[in-house]
Amino acid sequence: MREEPLSADEARIWHAWKSAGEAVMTRVVRDITAATGLSGPDFAVLTRLVDLGDGELRQQDLAEAIAWDKSRLSHQLTRMERRALVQRKPAGGKGVVVRITAAGKKTLTKARPAHARSIRRHLLTKLGRERPKTFLAICERLQSVEDEE
Amino acid sequence: MREEPLSADEARIWHAWKSAGEAVMTRVVRDITAATGLSGPDFAVLTRLVDLGDGELRQQDLAEAIAWDKSRLSHQLTRMERRALVQRKPAGGKGVVVRITAAGKKTLTKARPAHARSIRRHLLTKLGRERPKTFLAICERLQSVEDEE
DNA sequence: CAAGATTGAACCCTCAATCTTA
DNA sequence: TAAGATTGAGGGTTCAATCTTG
């Protein structure tokens, strides 16, 4: 693979991609936080608990579903428990069950419409009519791991 | 603006975009760090010092160029100074001048080819031949602030 | 005063080390 | 023992409060 400096065109693509990613993510998180006080990670945890587990999941399953390592999840849950968004209880067998609290459920209910609205506003409506297909294809391609050195 | 839950197609676009952004950024930063020990923010600071200021910039100008607030930059420079990547000196008039050190320059020289290589590998080559135009147009559009409520 | 910079606290993420217990 | 979870340290980001100095 070449190592020369990026051409002007290449640099422009890189910069546009990087900036667009940061801009959209920042705006969506800002909207959710403004509406509910939830952070991005808070929202990610609560949606999984409700959508995948009907309100509770074993901590290890949650980690798997959200694709975080154990440590990251443990730290996050500690902060969320402090704010009474979730609760941890020993599981039957080994491990821990994480459960959304009433307060967590209430907050999530407010956050979801704000989330959908924000994504439409900052991403979807900007794609126009024909581009979504191409855009989706590219994004799905970018996630894949490249073949080889 | 609508507030109903995202449709399956909408959710798929959102998820693909979010995941692609995280994946590409993570990989590029990992490559730079593996090659040089520099973090993403380290690299961002050093490139600006060299490209825009020939090795040194007033701290406020650096903050402007990199689009960070003063506090973020101050914290970052404190850590970088500790590792002898940059040096701070009082400026003529008010403020502070930030200067890249010899060690910083040497590390940056190693980082740049790794950076170009990584971006080609994780982003550019995956775009193929015809897509870059469309992709660039979309990304540049996404950065713009939407018109209105 | 006001521009320019620092600080501290709270949250977030990662890594390596350390429990805990079936 | 090994799966499951916690902890601590260090870097990163944000906000509000606080210097510092021309």
pLDDT in tens, A25-84: 999 999 999 999 999 999 999 999 999 999 999 999 999 999 999 999 999 999 999 999
Q: Which residue of B has its CA nearest to A123?
A: B142
Q: What is the pLDDT of residue B50?
A: 98
d(CA A92, CA A49) in angstroms, rounded, equals: 18
Chain A nearest C-alpha distance from B57 (Å): 22
Residues A142, B20: contact at Cβ < 8 Å?
yes
Measured between beta carbons, the chain B residues lying within 8 angstroms of A144 are 126
Residues 53-112 of B with CB under 8 A from A: 112
Q: Is some CB atom of chain B closer than 8 A to the CB atom of A129?
A: no
Confidence of residue B105 (pLDDT cuts 50, 70, 90): very high
pLDDT at position B46 = 98
The residue with tokens 């689009």 is: B67
Mean pLDDT of the residues in chain A: 94
Tell me the CA distances in angstroms from B16 to B4, B63, B67, one per residue in order.
Answer: 20, 32, 27
- pLDDT, one tens digit per residue, over B109-121 is 999 999 999 999 9
Tell me how far apart the alpha carbons of residues B60 and A9 are, in angstroms, rounded to a whole number.
Answer: 29
| Rounded (10°) CA dihedral A74, A79, A82, A86 | -60
Q: What is the pLDDT of residue B146?
A: 72
Q: What residues of chain B lie within 8 A of the CB of A117, using their CB?
A: 1-3
pLDDT in tens, A83-139: 999 999 999 888 999 999 999 999 999 999 999 999 999 999 999 887 899 999 999
pLDDT at residue A145, as a whole number: 83
Give the model's confidence band at A149: pLDDT under 50 very low, under 70 low, under 90 confident, else very high.
very low
Q: Determine the residue of chain B that is closest to A5 in CA distance.
A: B116
Let me know if A33 is exposed, middle or buried by CB neighbors in 10 A (0-12, 13-18, 19+).
middle
Q: What pLDDT shows up at residue A147?
A: 59
Nucleotide nearest to A69 (CA to C1'): C14
Contact between A79 and A41 (Cβ < 8 Å):
no
CA distances from B79 to A76, B44, B73 (A): 25, 14, 10
Are B126 and A140 in contact (CB < 8 Å)?
A: no
**The pLDDT of residue B85 is above 80:** yes
* CA pair distance B135, B84, nearest whole angstrom: 39
Contact state of A139 with B19 under an 8 Å Cβ cutoff = yes
At how many degrees (to 10) do helices B59-66 and B70-82 cross? 110
Partner-chain contact A131 B134, CB within 8 Å: yes
Q: Which of A51, A76, A138, A73 is nearest to B124 (CA)?
A: A138
* Mutual angle of helices A8-36 and B131-143, in 10-degree steps: 40
Q: Give bridge partners of residue B99 from the DSSP assignment.
A: B56, B87
| B16-47 tens-digit pLDDT | 999 999 999 999 999 999 999 999 999 999 99
* pLDDT above 60: residue B149: no
